[in-house]
Amino acid sequence: MTLSLKELTAEADRCVACGLCLPHCPTYRKTGSEADSPRGRIQLIRAVSQDILPNNARFKEHIDLCLSCRSCESACPNSVNYGALVDTTRALYIQKRSVWLSIAKPFIRHRRLSNAITWPLWFLSKLNLITVLKQLVPTAKLLPTIQKPMVWKSLYTATQTTQGAVSLFLGCATNAFDNRTLSASIYVLNALGYDVHVPNAQTCCGSIARQAGDDLEASLLIKKNASNFDPAMPILTTASGCSAGLKDYLTTHQIQDISTFLVSCDWSTVKITPLKERIYVQDPCSLRNVLKAQKAVYDLLKKIPEADIQALPGNSQCCGGAGAYSVTQPEMANQLLNDKLTAITANQVTILATSNIGCSLHINKGLNSTHASTRVTHPIEIIAKQMGFEA
Ligand code: SF4
Ligand code: SF4
C-alpha cells in the first residue's frame, strides 16, 4: 500500500524504537549499522518526511540497501507497516532514473517482447552457443538456463469432473525463465478438476518497478492486470513475490499462492507416485512475511508418499534475490546468498523446493561444482512429476 505524506509520518510515528526487529533484519546483521536496520530506516524516513534531514545520497543508500523482505514487520509487536513505509518512501523520495529499469521496462510490460528475446536465447542454448555469448557479453553470465518459450492458450480445461475455474498469473520472470512451473501448475490444476484461464493481455505484477521507486509504472501494470483478470475467479500465482505484490495492490481480486490453493483441494481422485527423497524447502520472504502461507508448501509436498520434507536451516533469512536486488545491490545479495549456499552444502541438499522465481534464479546462480547434485525447483513441479507430468 502506498501512503500519503501525512500517513507516512503517522505510520513512522507508530514505531516505538524498541529494537525487537533488529535481529531479524538481514542487512543490519551484515553491516551492524543502525541506519541499515528497520528502526534506523524508520527514523530516517520520519526525519526526511518532516524535512529534519535532507533527502540526500546517504539516505538513498540506506533505503536502497533494504531488501523489502519484511522480516522486521513479522517481528514487530506494534504491527508497524514497514512494507507501506518503504514502498511510499521509494515512490516519494527515491525515484530512480535507473538505466537497467529503463531497458527492462518494455520487456517486463510486454510478454511478446520478452518472448522475442527468449526465443533466440533458447536457439543459442540448443546450439550450445550460450557459453560463447557469456564469454562475449559479461552481463550474459547472469542468464539462467533457458527453457523453450511457450505460447499459452487462453483456456486449459479440466481433465476430470469440473470443480471450478481459476486464472493463472504468468509473471514476467517466471514466463521468461521457468515456464515449466507454469505448465506443471496447469497440469495439476486440470487433473484436480479445475479449468485454468490464462488471460493473454496480463502483465507483470509491478513489484520490480515499485522496488525501484517507479510508482507510476507499477500502478499502470496493476491497472492493466485489474482489467484483464475476471474478479469472479481466484488468481493463482506460482511466484510468491508476485502474489505479495498483487495482494497489496490488486485489491479488487482474490489472489492466492498456488500451494495455498492446492492444499485445500480434493486430492482423493489423483494418484501420486512415491518419491523416496529428502526435499528441503526454502521459504521465500514474500511467502513467509507477507502472505504468511509458507506452511502450505510443506503440506503440499507431504502429499507425496515417502518424501521426507525438511526446512532448509536459516530459512528466516532472505536469500538476497529480492526482485531486482541481486542486480542493484550485488555485494549484499552475494553475502546473503553465501549463507544459503553454506546451508545447502552442510545439509547435502539434492532437491531444494522454493516457490519464488527470484529465489530460485538467485540460488541457482550461486550453485557451483560443489553442488553438482543440487537441483532448485518449484514444489509444484515436484508433485506434478509424481502425477505423471512431463516437461
Ligand atoms: S524489510 Fe528486510 S532488509 Fe528491510 S528493514 Fe525490514 S528486515 Fe531489514
Ligand atoms: S519492532 Fe516495530 S516498534 Fe520496535 S523498533 Fe522495530 S519497527 Fe519499531
Q: What is the mean pLDDT of residues 272-291?
A: 95
Report CA 39 to chain centroid distance, whole Å. 25
Cβ pair 159, 190 in contact under 8 A: yes
What confidence tens digit (pLDDT) does each residue in 192-234 have? 999 999 999 899 998 888 887 788 888 899 999 999 999 999 9
Report CA 43 to chain centroid distance, whole Å. 28
Q: What percent of the chain has pLDDT over 70?
A: 88
Confidence band (pLDDT; 50, 70, 90) for 94? confident
Q: Which residue has the higher pLDDT, 100 or 362?
A: 362
Question: How many angstroms is it from 24 CA to the middle of ligand 1?
Answer: 8
Assess whether the C-beta atom of 39 lies below 6 angstroms from ligand 2. Answer: yes
Q: What is the mean pLDDT of residues 114-134?
A: 66
Q: What is the DSSP string of 266-304?
A: --TT-------SEEEEE--HIIIIIS--THHHHHHHTTS
Q: What is the mean pLDDT of residues 30-56?
A: 95
Q: What is the mean pLDDT of residues 71-100?
A: 87
Q: For residue 27, is pLDDT > 70?
A: yes
261's grid cell: 490453493
Q: What CATH number does domain 155-263 carry, 3.40.50, 1.20.58, 3.30.1360, 1.25.40?
A: 3.40.50
Question: How many angstroms is it from 325 CA to the middle of ligand 1?
Answer: 13
Closest C-alpha among 266, 274, 362 to residue 67: 362
Question: How many angstroms is it from 71 CA to the middle of ligand 1?
Answer: 6
In angstroms and rounded to an integer, the radius of gyration of the C-alpha atoms of the chain is 21
Q: What CATH number does domain 278-386 carry, 3.40.1130, 3.30.1330, 3.40.50, 3.30.300?
A: 3.40.50
Q: Please name the residues in contact with 225: beta carbons below 8 A apart, sequence gap of 6 or more.
A: 169, 202, 203, 205, 246, 250
279's grid cell: 526435499
Q: For residue 132, is pLDDT > 80?
A: no
Q: What percent of the chain has pLDDT over 90?
A: 67
Q: Specify the pLDDT at position 143.
A: 62
Confidence band (pLDDT; 50, 70, 90) for 370? confident
Q: For residue 368, is pLDDT > 90?
A: no
Query: To the nearest whole number, what is the mean pLDDT of the chain?
Result: 89
Query: Where do you find CATH 3.40.50 in the chain?
Result: 155-263, 278-386
Q: Probe ligand 1: pick from 30, 70, 207, max atoms within 8 Å of CB?
A: 70
Which range has the worst mean pLDDT, 31-40, 124-133, 379-388? 124-133
Cβ pair 199, 253 in contact under 8 A: no
Q: Specify the pLDDT at position 387.
A: 97
Q: Specify the pLDDT at position 106.
A: 72
Of ligand 2's listed atoms, the one at least distance from the Cα of 16 is: 3
State in Å, rounded, how far the first CA of the chain is from the last one.
Answer: 37
Of ligand 1's listed atoms, the one at least distance from the Cα of 83 is: 1
The one-letter amino acid at 123? F
- Domain 5-93 in CATH: superfamily? Alpha-helical ferredoxin (1.10.1060.10)
Cβ pair 80, 24 in contact under 8 A: no
The one-letter amino acid at 228? N
Question: How many angstroms is it from 58 CA to the middle of ligand 2?
Answer: 22
What confidence tens digit (pLDDT) does each residue in 236-267 have? 999 999 998 898 888 889 999 999 999 999 99
Query: Where do you find CATH 1.10.1060.10 in the chain?
Result: 5-93
| Alpha carbon distance 244, 77 (integer Å) | 21
E strands in the chain: 155-156, 164-169, 194-197, 235-237, 255-257, 278-282, 308-311, 351-354, 375-377
| Alpha carbon distance 376, 356 (integer Å) | 11
Question: How many angstroms is it from 159 CA to the middle of ligand 1?
Answer: 44
Closest C-alpha among 73, 235, 97, 250 to residue 169: 235
Q: Specify the pLDDT at position 144.
A: 66
Q: Which residue has the higher pLDDT, 45 or 323?
A: 45
Q: Probe ligand 2: pick from 13, 46, 76, max atoms within 8 Å of CB?
A: 76
Q: What is the mean pLDDT of residues 125-129?
A: 65
Q: What is the mean pLDDT of residues 166-171?
A: 96
Which residue has a Cα nearest atom 6 of ligand 2? 21
Assess whether the C-beta atom of 80 lies below 6 angstroms from ligand 2. Answer: yes
Which phi and psi (to 5°) does residue 40 adopt?
A: -65, -45
Cβ pair 243, 237 in contact under 8 A: yes
Q: Specify the pLDDT at position 141.
A: 59
| Alpha carbon distance 149, 382 (integer Å) | 20
Q: For residue 58, is pLDDT > 90?
A: yes
